[in-house]
Amino acid sequence: MRAIGHFLPHLRGVKQGPEHPATLLDTLLSHQSDSARLKSAHAVRDHFTTADDEGKRAFLQLLASGYNTDGKLLDAAISHYRKQRDPLSLSMLHAASEPRRQTILRRLNELPGGTASIIDMRREALRLKQDIPDFAALDHCFVHLLASWFNPGFLELRQLDFQSSADLASKLIQYEAVHAIDSWQSLRSRLEPADRRCYAFFHPRLGDEPLIFLELALTLDIPDSIEDILRSDREVIDACDATTAVFYSISNCQQGLRGIPFGGLLIKRVVDLLRAECRSLKTFVTLSPIPGLARWLGETGGGAFQPMTDGQDNALIASASRQTLLSRAAQYLAATTPDHGDPVARFHLGNGASIERLNWMADLSVQGLRQSYGLMVNYRYDLDHIDYDHRAFAEGALPRMSSEVRLLAGLSRQQSGKRQQNG
């Protein structure tokens, strides 16, 4: 049993003296006027921001291990609750069990730019977590508060286009995690044509800093290579003629918000918005990488398929057994569960999407060849199935897939819907 509350273990690296973080945090928690409290919060933030890594770590561990609750009050609340077991005594127990570090974070959040500071603080905590013994308790507070402040009601969906600010465009370039934007022309070709869109979530307290963005193409059929989407000499179509919306890139921008889920919601809001705008749209799919494929093949005896490097000839890929590779990839994706498997597959299947099609020679970039031998996959967002599939997948069912993919994976119709024993 470890002591909590104000008893603090020896704190390696925390400075002594008037700027001791414990002093700063105690002051922040004390009863003060609004303005005095704000000054305290400034002092805490400045301390953290200017600290070196060891100072940051020490501060975070202090926050994680100290600043829990008043043990006596909590014991009393527990006793009262056990006696009463009514709504009010429960509420009082809940209040009494709130760690005081939560109040600290709330008061930091009151600062101008406070929410950004807390996101930064969590990003640093995630980076240093190996050296913060009570990281789990600390992160519990971060996640609890961030999930509340970033609840879906606060998220603002905005379209980014060529009229968006140069600053925002430069962030798009910086955060694009899937297919790099390597020129001004490349930027324009994703933002300006009538059949290309980019949407992002913003938050009122983060101003023009995007949380996550989504790039999509409006097309006449489901594309089978990323080159079809990105090349600049293609013919632009009228958005109202498009039948298919293809999500080809989705990128998180804030490391400090890791685990706060926005992606599924962003896709669904964009689907709603597009359906209201373009009546012709019937099909909503992704064109997604399979980042874990090559490694999985390596681990599961796919030795024949060495990850490709840029020096190798594309012909080599062609000469590999195309059918074998597609089949193994289908098995890999079919084995996805909420907790295991390809991360992109987990994300989309977890959102209720299905596996629509595997595409051969679809991403011939260095990274595409290395990760997945150039294979890409289309996940399909079918609005009639999405709610059911979301729940079925969460509760252990096999992912839904098209008959083509099921065939590739060697699954009979009967097997679909049931998790394989060895899945």
Q: Which of residues 355-414 bind a second copy (CB under 8 A)?
A: 386-387, 390-391, 394
Those residues whose C-beta lies under 8 Å from the C-beta of residue 299, and which sit 6 or more positions away, are none
Site for a second copy in 61-120 (CB under 8 A): 64-65, 68-69, 71, 74, 78, 82-88, 90-91, 93-95, 97-99, 106, 109-112, 114-115
In angstroms, the CA 329 to CA 386 distance is 23
In angstroms, the CA 279 to CA 105 distance is 46
Q: Is 148 in the site for a second copy (CB under 8 A)?
A: yes
Q: Is 124 in the site for a second copy (CB under 8 A)?
A: no
- Binding test (CB under 8 A) with a second copy, winner from 164, 244, 249, 251: 164
**Residue with Cβ nearer a second copy (299 or 395):** 395
Q: Is 418 in the site for a second copy (CB under 8 A)?
A: no
Q: What angle do CA 275, 277, 280 make, to 5 degrees?
A: 60
Binding mask 23-52 for a second copy (x = CB under 8 A): --------xxxxxx----------------
**Residue with Cβ nearer a second copy (84 or 300):** 84
- CA dist list (Å): 94 to 2, 75, 90, 91, 394: 22, 12, 6, 5, 29
Q: How many residues bind a second copy (CB under 8 A)?
A: 81
What residues are paired with 197 via a beta bridge? 216
**Residue with Cβ nearer a second copy (30 or 255):** 30
**Residue with Cβ nearer a second copy (35 or 414):** 35
- Binding test (CB under 8 A) with a second copy, winner from 136, 177, 240, 318: 136
In angstroms, the CA 265 to CA 285 distance is 15
Q: How far is the CB of 340 from a second copy (least distance, A)?
A: 19
DSSP state string for 294-357 = HHHHHHTT-TTSPPP-TTS-HHHHHHS-HHHHHHHHHHHHHT--SSSS-HHHHHHHHTT-EEEE
Q: How far is the CB of 10 from a second copy (least distance, A)?
A: 16
* 3-state secondary structure at position 11: coil
CB–CB of 390/302 below 8 Å?
A: no
Tokens 């919601």 identify what position? 265
Q: Which stretch in 13-21, 132-140, 213-221, 227-235 sits in contact with a second copy by CB under 8 A?
A: 132-140
